[in-house]
Structure 1
Amino acid sequence: MKKEPSTPAQAPQSGSRRRFMKSSLGWTLSLPLLADLSPFAYSPPSFPTHNTAMLASDDSKSIIGPYGRWAASLRPDPPTLSLRATPRKKLSTWKKEALAKVKELMASPPLGVPATVTVEKKYTYDGLDMEELSWQLPYGRPTKALLLKPEGTSKPLPGILALHDHSGEKYYGYAKITRTSDQQDRHMQEHQAGYYGGIAWANEMAKRGYVVLVPDAFLFGSRRVYYEDVEGISWGMTKTNNRSDAEISSQEDINTYNAWASDHEHVVSKSLFCAGTTWPGVVLAEDQAALTILSQRSDVDANRLGCAGLSGGGLRTVYLAGLDERIRCAVSVGFMSTWNDFLLHKAYTHTWMVYTPLLPNYLEFPEILGLRAPLPVMVQSNNQDRLYTLPEMQKADAILREVYDLAKASDAYQGRFYDGDHKFDATMQADAFAWFDRWLG
């Protein structure tokens, strides 16, 4: 990848948010067109931006050419296990059938509960008690996580599983949404300035009276794949040849690793398919393990658990909150649209973490989250978010409203739209925090 001079980020126009068109949630395409995009300063994409009106007027146009509209016609509408397809079906019956099918297709591997959670370090910062934790799953290196709670907490508080984003940054994990000292990593400062209005939102959530756990996701941070772990493939990137992960020492090295990890996504996904599982299934299993760890703490009220996240964290929220009723309240940010939006317009802007094979035959994408009805959920979207088309985001919102109406729980769903690009800024955070306070506080 060509290295261009970097410029400091300034919220809300920082390179961290602006560069999402380079890797968005983790592009898996090795396109020469990406070579000239700076990792810090946004440059307009050199490929055409899809126009929904154009696509509507010319059915031959899609990201897979003339095959798009044909492919979109293969699925039933509504899908066969949609509550909208059988609106008179008893809610509990529908949920039992749909959940069983989704879990079958996701094929999450059995993980069990980590036998030991190790407290690596304890300290207090900015009014919060912090614990750096680790636990060993049946595979891979130990998962690292950060736990935050109000200083001096003694009585059980509601717990939040805070889910970090993807953003094409696999080198980092929980650091994306936390702050542990005044000497914060400069790149993470830029990241938070761009996506989060300069706010470490997990910290702010904890200050409101929550115990917040932020684990590294599968293939991020402590769970990432190291260079030296891989053999038999070459990406033609001399920067990575004969190097070890321990030799990563500069931001340029980290950018190179992130580009390598992005290219590696399709390999990971294919390999997981060959193993009889799926990427969403593995991520869900690991997030559920983290949720169990959170729920078993003496300082957490296990009956008041929630989760939230932006972008890749919003995607993780869709699956976790949709399939695990221990999540009593959820906020999904910057990840809500329809299967047709991915199929016809935007699949190339998204990670392989999204896709569960054959699931679109049974549920529309927002209906995965709708499986939690009547439990409360808020979905936040940005009107100018270039990872989606606005009409399809609006359609997804309408579908979720209909599901909650059919579940006789209209007040438990809120879909909110904000002006701006892909983000979870201070205004959105305030709305999300108030939603948690309403249902869990």
Structure 2
Amino acid sequence: MKPENPEENNERREFLKTSLTAMAIPFSFNVNAISNFIPMENIVSENAQLPDKSIIGDYGSWAASLLKPVPPLSFRDPKWKDLTAWKKEAYEKAQELIASPPKSPLPKVTVDKKYIYDGLEIEEISWQLPYGRKTQAVVLKPQGATKPLPAILGLHDHGGKKYFGYRKIVKTSDDQHPLLVEHRNSDYSGIPWANEVAKRGYVVLVHDTFTFGSRRVMYEDVAGLDWGDVSTAGKSDKDPEKSENIEAYNQWSGAHEHVMSKSLFSAGTTWPGVFLAEDQIALDILEQRQDVDPQRIGCGGLSGGGLRTVYLGGMDPRVKCAVCVGFMTTWTDLILTKSVTHTWMTYTPLLPKYLDFPEILGLRVPLPTLVQNNNQDELYTLPEMKKADKVLGDVYAKAGAKDKYLAKFYDGQHKFDAAMQKDAFDWFDKWLK
């Protein structure tokens, strides 16, 4: 395989780091009605502050101006007086546009292996969805636990590493792949956080999701199709766990994202919609376990896991406590400066007309929500992260639930380090125990 240029590889890793988670009632609204609540001079003023340059050139300010400062389904709009009525209408529109594929029946869960490690009882489990290969997952809980415990659905990151899924945040043996060790050292202070939160008294389920780990697109399934260097990359697949072969797969699968996303759009669904459907199946499996208290379930994750938390936490009230790490900004940030740093998995077409990005997660109000941000996170601009915090804060304040929302900002780049993990676990303890 051709040696990589270190500078090019760093640029690629930067690009891929988080490039990395029904019924729909037709809805219409009077666009002019919004002017009853937002003075036109405020809209002009906000647009006038947009930068002259953007990642889409001279079109940036114009594109950003297409969004209302307070979109019509935002709970911040004074026209929304009743929380229940707003949630119904906003949820139905979000559900329509996220366009999850039809939810499959609860699959049969197979326990493939059980053992004790790191003071935890561990089950390696799997299930078969109607499409794709088997989903592999792991369940962890404190050794000797005898009564139902609160539970957490751990959502693994993207990180430009689609070869791995749940293995990024779980440690099940002393024998660890060097690329996993490197990834945890870079993003998690070397800590398999799913293990650590399980030790605090939780049942934790972490599963491979769509296009990651056991759910990844295999070379052999697309070989012979004219879209990329599949044949060359596929030659190394005889030993897929070899580091250079994993790196080759990760580069190949990163280049495949636009193909997958366009195919999903053509099928009438979205990548967030498929994530949501698969994460909800995992939630079904978790809440039906005999060792789980179904009224005390949380979810969380970093980066791509934070993205999945936005959609799952916003769209499924069974998630009683949500922790979104390293994935919070505004649509304006993505329009002008940061869509280049993000995966195709982020976007739900047309939803920005109705809700700003943080307001997807805000659909869960008044359920407890923690958002953790890094001040020097290269994937977002700090002013837009701060604006997203204000948006969510305003939503929770209007709902009379200020104490249920917290945003914290930490120095450093994109990460979920030991200090952040402690704060996240304390938040879970506060609301789930």
Say yes or no: TM over 0.5: yes
Partner of 2:258: 266
Shift of residue 85, structure 1, vs aligned partner: 1.5
> Does residue 23 in structure 1 map to residue 5 in structure 2?
no
SS in 2 for 1:286: helix
> Does residue 234 in structure 1 map to residue 243 in structure 2?
no
Task: Output the CA distance in 2 between the equivalents of 1:337 and 1:3.
Answer: 36
Task: Output the CA distance in 2 between the equivalents of 1:360 and 1:84.
Answer: 15
What are the superposed Cα offsets for residues 381-435 of structure 1, whole Å, 9 maximum, x if unpaired?
0000000000000000010000000110000000000000000000000000000
Question: Quick one: which of 103, 106, 109 aligns to 2:98?
Answer: 106
What are the superposed Cα offsets for residues 161-209 of structure 1, whole Å, 9 maximum, x if unpaired?
0000000000000010010111111111111111000100000010000
Partner of 2:3: 3
Partner of 2:330: 338
Task: Output the CA distance in 1 between the equivalents of 2:11 and 2:83.
Answer: 42
Shift of residue 110, structure 1, vs aligned partner: 1.4
Task: Output the CA distance in 1 between the equivalents of 2:242 and 2:227.
Answer: 22
SS in 2 for 1:327: coil
Matched to 2:263, the amino acid is S
Residues 274 and 58 from structure 1, CA distance in 2 versus in 1: closer, same or farther, beyond 3 angstroms? closer
Task: Output the CA distance in 1 between the equivalents of 2:217 and 2:379.
Answer: 26
> Does residue 329 in structure 1 map to residue 321 in structure 2?
yes
Partner of 2:270: 278
Partner of 2:424: 432
Cα RMSD after superposing both structures: 2.0
Task: Output the CA distance in 2 between the equivalents of 1:58 and 1:283.
Answer: 32
Partner of 2:357: 365
Preserved CA contact (<8 Å) 2:148 2:292: yes
| TM-score (norm. length: structure 1) | 0.88
Residues 246 and 56 from structure 1, CA distance in 2 versus in 1: closer, same or farther, beyond 3 angstroms? farther
Task: Output the CA distance in 2 between the equivalents of 1:252 and 1:127.
Answer: 33
Question: Quick one: which of 189, 192, 198 aligns to 1:200?
Answer: 192
SS in 1 for 2:364: coil
Shift of residue 26, structure 1, vs aligned partner: 2.3
Residues 5 and 255 from structure 1, CA distance in 2 versus in 1: closer, same or farther, beyond 3 angstroms? same
Preserved CA contact (<8 Å) 2:236 2:245: no
Shift of residue 240, structure 1, vs aligned partner: 1.6
Alignment of 1:22-421 (within 5 A): 22-26=15-19, 59-86=51-78, 88-230=80-222, 231-236=224-229, 239-240=232-233, 243=235, 245-421=237-413
What are the superposed Cα offsets for residues 282-324 of structure 1, whole Å, 9 maximum, x if unpaired?
0000000000000000000000000000000000000000000
Matched to 2:18, the amino acid is L
What are the superposed Cα offsets for residues 136-178 of structure 1, whole Å, 9 maximum, x if unpaired?
1110001000100000122000010000000000000001001
Task: Output the CA distance in 2 between the equivalents of 1:132 and 1:273.
Answer: 33
Structure 2 gap ranges (5+): 21-46
SS in 2 for 1:415: strand
Task: Output the CA distance in 2 between the equivalents of 1:66 and 1:83.
Answer: 32
Shift of residue 249, structure 1, vs aligned partner: 4.2
Preserved CA contact (<8 Å) 2:16 2:343: no
Shift of residue 244, structure 1, vs aligned partner: 7.5
SS in 1 for 2:333: helix
Structure 1 gap ranges (5+): 7-15, 28-54
